[in-house]
Amino acid sequence: MILLVPGKEVANMSHFNLSRLSRIPSWFFGCSYLILIPVFALIFTFFADDFYHTTAKYESYLKADEEEILSLLKESIIQSCITKYNSLQIPASSPFLNWNRMRLYGLKYKDGEFSFAIIETDTPSAYRTRPGILRYQFSLLYPRISKDDNSSRMYAVGYENNEIRDLDIISKLLPINRKYSEEDQSKDMGFIVLSNLLEKKLQAWARATAGFPAQSSGTYWRLLYLSAMTITTVGYGDILPITTRARLVLGGEAVLGIVIIGLFLNALARQSSEDKESRRKEALRGHLRAQYHEWRRDLVSACLRGMNGDYSIDSKLEEELVDFKRFRQYFSGDDKQRWYDVLNGLQSNEQFLEDILVISDLFSQQVNYALGTIQTENKKALAILTRVSQKPYLLKNLDVYSGDPVKYIGQYVFEILGMFSVINGYLDDDFIETAIRQL
């Protein structure tokens, strides 16, 4: 039977989740933070009418939409003129009253009505019988629907320029389309045919001027800007949520942005700390390897002094014998007597033995410091270096070694310098240096 302790299980799960979270690199959080900006902007487009844009009517995209609408209006008027007169020439007192010489501009929306201006261009002043600029107003309140075409509607147009001399000029400039009945046509009124597409553009433009440009061009880029301002918690306030849904999503993005940027900074700090610790450990490992090679050189020097019976040694030979393969070759086989000479020298001069124990104890301290500083998970390397650090202490203090110190110290030195194991014999590599590299 397995008994589950709830508190302990929750703690273990929490530790596991935090451990996994701590392994996520900082670039992941940074990329997630940036990706959320266009993702939330796309989400906002599904309820773009829930945002009020305080500066919408001042943006350049609105002017571009206005020019497009006026261009479509002029095309619609020209089509009506061609249908009515079979020409762009308007039947009027001036022979220059022609839609090729006229331009629409100044589209406005106020109190449910649209207005625009018509200006005559390239008309000689001698032939002008009316002011150069004529202004008209049209309303979308009373559309006329064609019986034959459901794709468009016709709207009546009134005028607001009191200086017009010919009252029928409006009906001539903006004639009724033949698709529609002429029974209600008046001399002081004109008509414009709006396709469903153009009507939608007008309504979208009107809403944009009122601060709701969801159906106008550039919507996604405005919402992308809103998303960036929200996730960074800058919040200029030029785009405002006006529904609970929009406020909740905007608030969620802001909170999520704070959480992710916090995780990003935490991962960045952890990564920086780990990099610094890694460099420190690498420096410590390099220092320990250098100390290890120095220790081997000192042991070789002690062996050569014992073999020679004095402190005079061959420095070149000392450098060669630091390599464990060269050491084996020099003190084994037919040259094994050289090793017996070393042991006899150590036996005759206890100072040599003391030197070996001192330098081994110094290296042991270096190993202990490294093991206490580097938190290694390599059990094999930890076991090898622990034995290396403990051996000098055992040689000095255990009674089992005190009866014949030369024998045990000599065996210890040969194992280190010749990479020799009583159990496995000669080894193929320097297991101590390998253990240091694996820390």
Write out pLDDT tens, residues 45-75: 999 999 999 988 888 888 889 999 998 888 8
Q: Evaluate whether residue 214 is within a structural domain.
A: no
How many separate domains does the chain show? 3
Which of 229, 244, 267 delimits the end of a domain? 267
Q: How far apart are CA 437 and CA 380, in angstroms?
A: 12
| Pairwise CA distance, residues 41 & 396, whole Å | 75
pLDDT of residue 53: 93
| Lowest mean pLDDT across 125-134, 369-378, 384-393 | 125-134
Q: What's the number of CA atoms in the CB half-sphere (13 Å) around residue 112?
A: 3
In this structure, are 403 and 427 located in the same domain?
yes
| pLDDT 10s digits, 375-397 | 888 888 888 899 888 888 888 87
Shared-domain flag, residues 286 and 432: yes
Any idea what the Cα angle at residue 157 is, between residues 184 and 65, rounded to 5°? 140
CA dist 167 and 147 (Å) reads: 29
**Domain-embedded: residue 297:** yes
Contacts of 248 (CB under 8 A, 6+ apart): none
| Residue whose tokens read 């159906």 | 215
Q: Which of 46-50, 339-343, 399-403, 422-426 has the lowest mean pLDDT?
A: 399-403
29 belongs to a structural domain: yes
* Cα–Cα distance measured from residue 240 to residue 242, given in angstroms and rounded to the nearest whole number: 6
Considering 267, 298, 333, which residue would you say is the last residue of a domain? 267
Query: For the chain, what is the mean pLDDT?
Result: 80
CATH of the domain at 250: 1.10.287.70
Among the listed residues 18, 24, 23, 26, the one whose alpha carbon sits nearest the alpha carbon of residue 272: 26
Same domain, 81 and 188: yes
- Does some domain include residue 169? yes
Answer yes or no: do 285 and 427 share one domain. Answer: yes
Mark residue 143 as left, alpha or beta (left: phi above 0; alpha: psi -120 to 50; beta: remaining): beta
| pLDDT per position as a tens digit, 212-247 | 999 888 899 999 999 999 999 888 889 999 999 999
Question: Do 158 and 118 reside in the same domain of the chain?
Answer: yes
340 found inside a domain: yes
Query: Which residue matches tokens 């459901």?
Result: 150
- Assess if residue 14 is contained within a domain: no
Same domain, 251 and 286: no
Q: Same domain, yes or no, for 263 and 397? A: no
For residue 411, what are its two tokens?
């065996």
Closest CA to 242 of 217, 277, 214: 214
Asked if 288 and 252 sit in the same domain, the reply is no
Residue 374, both tokens: 């580097």
Q: Are residues 166 and 28 in the same domain?
A: no
Residue bearing tokens 């650090």: 389
Neighbours of 91 (CB within 10 A): 11
26-44 vs 244-308: helix axis angle to the nearest 10? 170
358 CA to centre of own chain: 56
**How buried is 329 (Cβ within 10 angstroms: 0-12 exposed, 13-18 middle, 19+ buried)?**
middle
The yes-or-no verdict on residue 154 having pLDDT over 60 is yes
User: Length of the chain in residues, anyone?
Assistant: 439
Question: What does the pLDDT read at residue 16?
Answer: 45
Task: Evaluate the CA torsion angle 146, 147, 148, 151 in order and state its sign.
Answer: positive
Domain extent, residue 263, equals: 22-51+219-267
Distance CA(50)–CA(324), nearest Å, equals 80
The strand pair at 51-53 and 113-120 is best described as unpaired
280 has pLDDT over 70: yes
- The sign of the torsion formed by the CA atoms of 231, 63, 218, 201 equals positive
Same domain, 283 and 243: no
Is 3 within the bounds of a domain? no
Pair 192, 255 in one domain? no
Q: Which of 126-135, 175-184, 206-215, 412-421 has the lowest mean pLDDT?
A: 126-135
Q: 168, 190, 209 — which closes off a domain?
A: 209
The residue that leads in pLDDT, 47 or 332, is: 47
Task: Tally Cβ neighbours within 10 Å of residue 3.
Answer: 4
Residue type, 71: S
The helix (H) or strand (E) run that includes residue 56 is none
**Which of these ranges, 161-170, 400-409, 426-435, has the smallest mean pLDDT?**
161-170
H-helix or E-strand containing 193? strand 190-195
Q: How far apart are CA 158 and CA 162, in angstroms?
A: 12
Give the helix/strand (H/E) hosting 212.
none
Structure tokens at 114: 């649209």
In a domain, 132, yes or no: yes
Run of H or E residues at 144: strand 144-145
The answer to whether 380 touches 435, Cβ cutoff 8 Å, is yes
Whether residue 283 is found in the same domain as residue 432: yes
How many CA atoms within 13 Å lie on the side-chain side of 115? 15
State yes or no: pLDDT of 182 exceeds 90.
no
